[in-house]
Chain A
Amino acid sequence: KAGVTQTPRYLIKTRGQQVTLSCSPISGHRSVSWYQQTPGQGLQFLFEYFSETQRNKGNFPGRFSGRQFSNSRSEMNVSTLELGDSALYLCASSLEGPGNTIYFGEGSWLTVV
């Protein structure tokens, strides 16, 4: 069974640009979450989607947005990039229901210069 797949794995962007990251969840998983990992802040929750609807949102500015498609694939977008947006962006998926494990992808490394 394929795991959570994220693309691209590595990318470099210039301050002020925008970036779109893609995530394909494990087959059958309809909940997709995004997390940001930075050395100083650890792993922080960005947002969660289920059935194409944003169900939960973390404490990030509106420059961070996401969406989910009917096949459960998800994208996140960061506009007007800042140097502080340099981080590992992790996508995770899970089955719906209580006590389900959340599985993570390998992540997308974003460097903003």
Chain B
Amino acid sequence: DQQVKQNSPSLSVQEGRISILNCDYTNSMFDYFLWYKKYPAEGPTFLISISSIKDKNEDGRFTVFLNKSAKHLSLHIVPSQPGDSAVYFCAASRYSGNTPLVFGKGTRLSVIA
């Protein structure tokens, strides 16, 4: 039973356009969500997070939107750059801490110059 789902295994976007990566979760206990970026043979790098008291969080070119009623979140990257090409993982947990991250299976983003 997959509690965090990233239904698009891959996404191609032209440089300069918006990349939208989606994530759905099923466990209502999750109230803290994180996005990680991963290059091959490297560990995941933290990008941005959001707690359930917010519906949007921004950091530079990265914005995460949370729709609690739909149990859906999305990561927007604007403008997309070739260096953004990587696998993006959505992860969910409890804001209170002390609980492990549950990851989606990732979406491979390719930004085409």
Contact = CB atoms under 8 A, between A and B. Distances in A.
Interface of A: 4, 6, 33, 35, 42-45, 48, 50, 55-56, 58, 88, 90, 92, 94, 96-107, 109
Interface residues on B, range: 20 to 34
A4 B96 CA distance: 22
7 contacts: A50-B98, A55-B98, A56-B99, A56-B100, A96-B97, A102-B34, A102-B101
A106 B103 contact: no
B34 A107 contact: no
Given A56-B98, A99-B97, A104 B44 contact: yes
Contact of B44 (A45, A90, A109): A90
Contacts of A44: 103
